[in-house]
Amino acid sequence: NAGVTQTPKFQVLKTGQSMTLQCAQDMNHNSMYWYRQDPGMGLRLIYYSASEGTTDKGEVPNGYNVSRLNKREFSLRLESAAPSQTSVYFCASSENVAGDAVTEAFFGQGTRLTVV
Amino acid sequence: AQTVTQSQPEMSVQEAETVTLSCTYDTSENNYYLFWYKQPPSRQMILVIRQEAYKQQNATENRFSVNFQKAAKSFSLKISDSQLGDTAMYFCAFSSPSYNTDKLIFGTGTRLQVFP
């Protein structure tokens, strides 16, 4: 089982360049998420997609856009990269069943992005 | 807004000893879930243990157990018989069914070093 696959694993960008981080899950999960991890800050939610066809802002959405391409894929785009976007980015997915439960989130391996 | 606080940035323990990592949270929700995630040097996020707030019994997974004090809004992780492979960052996280997704609010993490 591949689970959640992110590409690329490492990337260096120059300030002002654009790029798209790709994420795909093979668990037929309804919800997908993008987090960033910074030293001393933990993981913070950038955007999420509760179900196919919907996207919503998280805690730190500025400077990012997302696309839920289909049920499997959820991409994160940096239109004009800034040094403040240097971080480790994680994609995650979860089943997200309706009702009173919270289901487990599964994470990808992360992308280390450096903006110079 | 919900917050998760981990007040111990770093901890160390000798192999085979027991260590407890602290986590406190703030919420007005009545139904919620708490999690401990492990992040080894490989960067992978691994779910260690979860606790449903409506359950009075503390969750246990092999050498890992929690002390869930709902009134005090405290959720500590106890690792018994520590092993070298337990060396990692540990994140406490919160979620609630009221979010209608499984999005997580993370603490800032505790870096645990297990010494031989």
Subunit contact B108:A107, Cβ cutoff 8 A? no
CA distance B30 to A72: 32
Q: What is the mean pLDDT of chain B?
A: 95
pLDDT digits (tens, 9 = 90+) for A35-76: 999 988 899 999 999 999 999 999 999 999 999 989 999 999
B107–A109: do the CB atoms touch at under 8 Å? no
Residue A107: the pLDDT is 97
Q: Nearest Cβ partner of A42 from B50, B91, B96? A: B91
Q: How confident is residue A115, by pLDDT bands cut at 50, 70 and 90?
A: very high
Q: What span, in angstroms and rounded, lies between the C-alpha atoms of B74 and B66? A: 10
CB B77 within 8 A of CB B63: no
Backbone angles phi, psi at B102, to 5 degrees: -105, 30
- Of chain A, the percentage scoring pLDDT greater than 90 comes to 84
In this model, does residue A99 exceed pLDDT 80?
no
**Whether residue B54 has pLDDT greater than 80:** yes
Under the banding of pLDDT at 50, 70 and 90, the label for residue B15 is: very high
* C-beta of residue A103 within 8 angstroms of C-beta of residue A96: yes
Q: Measure in Å the smallest separation between the Cα of B40 and chain A Cα atoms.
A: 11
Q: What is the mean pLDDT of residues B26-30?
A: 92
Arithmetic mean of pLDDT over chain A: 94
Using DSSP, how many helices (H) and how many strands (E) does chain A show? 0, 11
A101 pLDDT above the threshold of 80: yes
How much is the pLDDT for A100? 73
pLDDT at A1: 62
